[in-house]
Amino acid sequence: MPNFEHPEYPEATLLHLESMVPCRESQVSSLLSVFGKRQHFSFPSIFIYGHTSSGKTYVIQTVLETLELPHLFVNCIECFTSRLLLEEILTQLQNLSSEKKHGSRVPCDTFNDFVRLFKQETITQDLQNQTVYIVLDKAEQLREMEANVLPGFLRLQEFTDRNVTVIFLSEIVWELFRPNTGCLEPFTLYFPDYSIGHLQKILSHYHPPEYSADFYAAYINILLGVFYTVCRDLKELRHLAALNFTKYCEPVVRGEASERDTRRLWKNIESHLKKAMQTVYLREISSSQWEKIQQDDGEPGHLKGLSAHAHVELPYYSKFLLIAAYLASYNPARTDKRFFLKHHGKIKKTNFLKKHEKTSNHLLGPKPFPLDRLLAILYSIVDNKVAPTANIFSQITSLVTLQLLTLVGHDDQLDGPKYKCTVSLDFIRAIARTVNFDIIKYLYDFL
């Protein structure tokens, strides 16, 4: 007895569909009932949302393909302008309505043209009789296009007077889409995250042909035990499962353990998986490098991840410029006197500052500072005399292109530009150490 009941489709198709979409039965059955019969008009628009890799795209695609409904799929990131998007839809529609390919692309600039051309394309009887489904994947991109695109798609059925349904797939909720001018509300459908049981079921579903399903399921169980706390992304988990499976099988291949000896297998794999979580999962080490390590059976220790190479070598004055920028970003301007004048007198921290300045500046983040202040601090922290040469100024620009400083405000502003220092305390301390500059002594937060 299939889970899905629908008078329109044969039972075998429905059964097949059910096997294809594990753990998404309720969503699919509500979709089926919304779709109705082929020739029925459906909702003008359906909005499906759910977290990353909760099966939205896959489920829709499988349903539409298995039931052989006329449909077309467009990825909105790929079609980054409305023109590209509309033309892509029209081309796919051409391919749908006639078997032979039209080579020519239909120029379509506005939504108005689109509606007109859409009507022309769907004139054939075949498309008249059944609902055409337009699936817009990554629909959140639509919000960045012209204001009329999203409302237009929502009422496409009404505009074109054709049997068409637009399905939006998105990772964010409908409330964030709703234009303030109002629009036709779509039918919304939520795809909840897969639970750990679901993940287990889906991942074990595709086991490698050489090994039994149970063996693989046990492996998935261990894998989820390690990774479930940090990652629920199905794709990512599947990738990790594939990467580490050979290591898991090693004792079996070598004949040291049987397939049922789960304890030994677990002991063998657990630390390995944990290491994978710190490296491959974070993309510190690429998956191909990880595989190489596994093959060589070497320790991944000698291969440093990306973050291990945090050290940046800078020219001498650039280092001081960066230090000066850091000081200017994190010290209140009024304390400069205290740090850089010889006879500054004592300033007590508590009385000296306004209330809001008492919170740590490092918690508040860097503040913008003018160029003059940067140079003034630079001149006072460098031991020997620095001539204000062109090289010094261009070093500042270089630091901006290296993203170690950022220019606040517009690029064109030549008059009194302001900067922010974007490096972290650890980074600047490492830099300061190389030039024997005790930066902590100069930071107001650490007085």
Partner 1 sequence: MRQSCRALDWGQGVPLPRDSGARGGSMSTCSVSKGCFVFKPNSKKRRISSTGDYFSEGKNDSEDSGLRFATCQLLWKQINSEMEKIQDELNKQLFDNLINFLRQSHSEFQTESTEWMCRMKSSEIPTAALVLGVNVTDHDLTFKSLSEVLQDSITPYVVSLQAKECPGIKHLLQKLMGQLMNCYVDVDDSEEEECVNISQKKMRCSMASLSQWYKDVTKKSGFETSSKKRTSSSRHWQSPPIVVIFKDMESFTTKVLQDFIVISSQHIHEIPLVLIFGIATSPMIIHRLLPHSVSSLLCIELFQSLSCKEHMATVIDKLLLTTQFPFKLSEKVLQVLINIFLYHDFSVQNFIKGFQLSVVEHFYSQPLSVLCCQLQEAKKRINSLSHNQCENIRSLPSFRRYVESQVSEKQIALLTEDNFLKEVTQTLLEDLNSYHENYFPVLRCLHVFTSSLPKYPLGKQIRELHCACLGKRVWETEEYGSAVQLMRMLAKAELVAILQKCVEIFTSSSGKQFSNTIEKMEEFLTRFQNLEAETNDIQDVSVSSQNELQKKTDLYHLQKTLLELKESKRSKKLTKFEMLRFEVVDFIESLVRSYLTPAEMQTLNEVVYFNTANTLREHLNAAPRIALHTALNNPYCYLKNQTLKSDVGCISNTAPDICIAYKLHLECGRLINLVDWLEAFSTVVTAVEGKDLDSTATDQMDEIIHARFIRAVSELELLGFIKPSKQKTDHVARLTWGGC
Binding residues for partner 1 (CB under 8 A): 52, 75, 77-81, 84, 87-88, 105, 206, 208-209, 233, 235-236, 238-239, 241-243, 245, 282-283, 286-289, 306-307, 309-318, 371, 387-398, 401-404, 411, 414-415, 417
How far apart are CB 376 and partner 1 at their closest, in Å? 10
Nearer to partner 1, 195 or 391 (CB): 391
Buried b (16+ CB within 10 A) or exposed e, 259-296: eeebeebbebbeebbebbbebbbeebbebeebbebbee
How far apart are CB 404 and partner 1 at their closest, in Å? 7
If 0-12 CB within 10 Å is exposed, 13-18 middle and 19+ buried, where does residue 194 land? buried
**DSSP line for 170-211:** ESS-GGGT--TT--PPPEEEEEPPPPHHHHHHHHHHS--TTS
How far apart are CB 44 and partner 1 at their closest, in Å? 27
Nearer to partner 1, 112 or 389 (CB): 389
Q: Using CA atoms, how far apart are residues 206 and 296, in angstroms rounded to an integer?
A: 27
How far apart are CB 62 and partner 1 at their closest, in Å? 17
Strands (E), 358-403: 369-370
How far apart are CB 91 and partner 1 at their closest, in Å? 9
Nearer to partner 1, 13 or 92 (CB): 92
Nearer to partner 1, 345 or 416 (CB): 416
Nearer to partner 1, 331 or 395 (CB): 395
- Tell me the one-letter amino acid at 208: P
Nearer to partner 1, 32 or 280 (CB): 280
- Tell me the one-letter amino acid at 359: T
How far apart are CB 112 and partner 1 at their closest, in Å? 20
How far apart are CB 447 and partner 1 at their closest, in Å? 29
The closest of 123, 102, 124, 106 to 114, measured between CA atoms, is: 106
Size of the chain, expressed as the number of residues it contains: 447
DSSP lists the bridge partners of residue 259 as none
How far apart are CB 274 and partner 1 at their closest, in Å? 18
Q: Using CA atoms, how far apart are residues 66 and 13, in angstroms rounded to an integer?
A: 7
Within its chain, how far is the Cα of 314 from the centroid? 32
Nearer to partner 1, 79 or 324 (CB): 79
Count the neighbouring beta carbons within 10 Å of the beta carbon of residue 73: 19
Nearer to partner 1, 33 or 298 (CB): 298
Q: Using CA atoms, how far apart are residues 131 and 436, in angstroms rounded to an integer?
A: 73
168-171-175-181 Cα dihedral, nearest 10 degrees:
-50
